[in-house]
Amino acid sequence: MLITGARTVDGFATDFYVRDGVFADPLQAPPNVRRVDAAGLLALPGLVDLHTHLRQPGREDAETIATGTLAAARGGFTCVHAMANTTPVTDTAERAEWIRQTAAAQASCEVAVVGAVTKGLAGEELADLEAMAAGGARVFSDDGRCVADSLLMRRALEFAAATGAVIAQHSQDPRLAGPTACCHESHVSRELGLDGWPAQAESAIVARDVQLAELTSGRLHVCHVSTAETVDVLRWAKARGIPVTAEVTPHHLLLDTPLLASGDTTYKVNPPLRTTEHLEAVREALADGTIDAVATDHAPHAASDKAKPFPEASPGMLGLEQALSVVIDVMVNTGRMDWPTLAERMSYTPARIGRVADQGRPLAIGEPANVVLVDPARRAPVDPQTSASLSRNNPYRGLDLPDPVVMTVCAGRVAFNRHPGLVPG
Ligand SMILES: [Zn+2]
């Protein structure tokens, strides 16, 4: 396949000859090669998500490896990190290998397996990190739950220091709110009569963890940063040279606490949607690199798990198909960020954090052919019914957002396409 005339983020028009999974020299493309006219389109390196819940095994009614990665390809992702909070939990080398093999047979993009930090996500005893690392896992996380025990977190970071792995923490002190906490603690939660999580439940754990990262030299990754206080802690830690990276979700960049007034449980998520000052803080931090990456925290839920009173509904929302749309609208279209920085935050840097060798590579001859063609000007109201996900908890439904992805090529294979000029073959 020969993609002609696409613009790169640096502004150059380039041809890409995709052959045997890599970019080859366009001058060597045979005359009868399949051609895609990409004039007017932008070529981004395939996006990499550090934080995806694929729900398989255990909740195949909400999502599967096949449907979740198809949603990923529709969103421009060529690699997702599959979180460990499945049923059973991914806490052994055998379970990690099962996901790897199922993905190899069924996935539309690369799947990097995240191993659990503790057995059964119970927060009591380290899982067999060594065996999972030997099988190829580079990221470990109890996401969905916080590794609250300081000594366990220290041991996990010591393992990270010894092996080059990274510990991705869901930073939320479970003891800083009651069992019915379900939103951001603020005047809005008080008006709605809901129990809230204070911003400090997040930043207090991050403050502890960056000091443990300094103590151990183990790499720490902070999942879904949502508060201004966490941004302050990260700035302090990075200024000290502590090995910490951080991600922000599309929903924490765009959606705010007052949406909860509708009572719609689609907006229930952990950490919760915050107020405007926090949104501004995480946007600024993403622009200046204090927050290193965008990650979706794509969290599909069956309708029955959301059709409950707000405090009891499952937390989480979809993200893979609209992540790029949100980042373009909130960050690029407002002038906060340019395209080369978007490529850093959504491809190069997350690939580096997760140590995924074939992802986040330059769009150059000899490199793996992971590329997404986008039309930055295309917009459309978000229609959840057209989603590839099995779930419908899409917080962007009805919003007029960029609808940019035209084609996603993963390891040289067309994983998603709506370019009219590409004849299947
Ligand atoms: Zn989480």
pLDDT digits (tens, 9 = 90+) for 330-371: 999 999 999 999 999 999 999 999 999 999 999 999 999 999
Q: What is the dihedral of CA 313, 314, 318, 319, to 10 degrees?
A: 120
* Mean pLDDT over each residue of the chain, to the nearest integer: 97
Residue 422, pLDDT score: 74
Ligand 1 centre from 345 Cα, in Å? 19
Ligand 1 centre from 126 Cα, in Å? 19
Known catalytic membership, residue 209: no
| Homologous superfamily of the 46-361 domain (CATH) | Metal-dependent hydrolases (3.20.20.140)
Burial 245-275 (b: 16+ CB within 10 A, else e): bbbbbbbbbbbbbeebeeeebbbbbbbbbbb
Q: Which residue has the tokens 């659990």?
A: 116
Ligand 1 centre from 3 Cα, in Å? 38
Q: What number is the average pLDDT over the span 169-187? A: 95
pLDDT digits (tens, 9 = 90+) for 384-415: 999 999 999 999 999 999 999 999 999 999 99
* DSSP class of 66: H
Closest CA to 40 of 408, 375, 401, 419: 375
pLDDT band at 424 (very low <50, low <70, confident <90, very high): low
Ligand 1 centre from 202 Cα, in Å? 11
Residue 425, pLDDT score: 47
Dig out the tokens for 293 from the structure: 């990456």
Of the candidates 143, 256, 292, 297, the residue annotated as catalytic is 297
Contact between 150 and 212 under an 8 Å Cβ cutoff? The reply is: yes
Percent of the chain exceeding pLDDT 70 equals 99
Residue 423, pLDDT score: 60
Ramachandran angles phi, psi of 207, nearest 5°: -65, -40
The DSSP bridge partners found for residue 381 are 400
Per DSSP, the residues of 228-281 read: HHHHHHHHHHHHTT--EEEEE-HHHHH-BGGGGGG--GGG--SSPPB-HHHHHH
Assess whether pLDDT exceeds 50 at residue 5: yes
pLDDT digits (tens, 9 = 90+) for 246-288: 999 999 999 999 999 999 999 999 999 999 999 999 999 999 9
pLDDT band at 198 (very low <50, low <70, confident <90, very high): very high
Distance, CA of 196 to CA of 185 (rounded, Å): 4
Ligand 1 centre from 109 Cα, in Å? 22
Ligand 1 centre from 194 Cα, in Å? 21
Q: Report yes or no on whether pTM surpasses 0.75.
A: yes
Ligand 1 centre from 223 Cα, in Å? 6
Neighbours of ion ligand 1 (CB under 5 A): 143, 170, 223
